[in-house]
Amino acid sequence: MKRILVTGALGQIGSELITKLRKEYGADNVIATDIRTADSEVVHGGPFEILDVTDAAQMNELVSKYKVDTMMHMAALLSARAEENPQLAWHLNMGGLVNGLEAAREHHLQFFTPSSIGAFGPDTPKHGTPQDTIQRPTTMYGVNKVSGELLCDYYFTRFGVDTRGVRFPGLISYVTPPGGGTTDYAVEIYYEALKTGKYTSYIDKGTYMDMMYMPDALQAIVDLMEADPAKLKHRNAFNVTAMSIEPEMVAAEIKKHIPSFEISYQPDPVRQAIADSWPDAIDASASKAEWGFKAEYDLATMTADMLQKLKTGIPQ
């Protein structure tokens, strides 16, 4: 990777990915794009362009303008919001992905896009979910992700596009506020612990889901993209995870730092149903074997770092 274009650069992952990439590859070599602008380091810290990913011509123009060799396609509507507007989710998530893959094919780009544990469904084994297993999701977001995995595989086998991707679990960050995902309770809980000392979880107690701290997620992207392609058997949908946790486990860890913290539960039917359809814990052995994936943070070290970082200023 020498010149990288990132779509959805102001989103949950993109906003932090841009910072990491510019630090490692040089600010001028990382082109951030989004459908909107903002007064942020993403916009002011290097090249930034407005891009609607459903506009194929505009995407190709930017690829040519900046002579990029890599595209990281992060623009997507997340799980809960996708259920609110499934037609928009298909239009944005799949239309944008096809345009990105076509640009990668035409311009010979290396291409990354993330999948998700949302690609699994209620028939998927819930414990130790294998890398290769049944995928019959019951949400539009999940349908998008399975379709995207297959489409990226197709562009690799049919056209030779160097496509790569991971299935992210819930991602926890102190930089970007929650953005409409089912797993976002595990982000909100830290913000509310410091703001109010209590939190009402929309995910019920006893609901296990895989999670990962954002620094580990960003490193996973870079490590996969820099990996020897000859060693990649799966390429586009590597299981990655750092921890399998339930809300009360997060609350208990927070209480070690804020003893007065209280948690209560008011499950949201839509997001709870989505969570119940996902695995409890996935198997990431393929990513470890094929490109050396390793998570540095567990629940305890992540919680300590989250609370310490958020104390310096909670984004509003």
pLDDT, averaged per 10 consecutive residues of the chain (316 residues), comes to: 96 94 98 96 97 98 98 90 92 97 98 96 95 95 96 98 96 80 90 96 95 97 97 94 97 98 96 91 97 97 96 64
Identify the three-state secondary structure at position 86: helix
Which tokens sit at 182? Answer: 């089912």
Within the chain, all domains assigned CATH 3.90.25 are found at 172-211+242-281+296-310
Predicted pLDDT at 250: 97
Q: Which amino acid is at 264?
A: S
For the domain covering 172-211+242-281+296-310, report its CATH number. Answer: 3.90.25
What pLDDT digit, counting tens, does each position of 82-137 carry?
A: 889 999 999 999 999 999 999 999 999 999 999 999 999 999 999 999 999 999 99
The active-site residue out of 66, 141, 185, 297 is 141
Which tokens sit at 260? Answer: 């007065």
Q: Is 297 a catalytic residue?
A: no
Strand ranges, E, within the chain: 4-7, 30-34, 48-50, 70-73, 110-112, 115-116, 127-129, 162-164, 166-168, 170-172, 198-201, 209-213, 238-239, 243-245, 262-265, 281-282
Give the chain's end-to-end CA distance (angstroms, integer): 34
Using a 10 angstrom Cβ sphere, with 0-12 exposed, 13-18 middle and 19 or more buried, the burial of residue 139 is: buried
Q: Is the pTM of this model over 0.95?
A: no
Place of tokens 């396609």: 73
Best CA proximity match to 145, nearest among 171, 123, 178, 169: 169
Within the chain, all domains assigned CATH 3.40.50.720 are found at 4-169+212-239
CATH of 4-169+212-239, one of 3.20.20.70, 3.40.50.720, 3.40.710.10, 3.40.50.150: 3.40.50.720
Predicted pLDDT at 106: 98
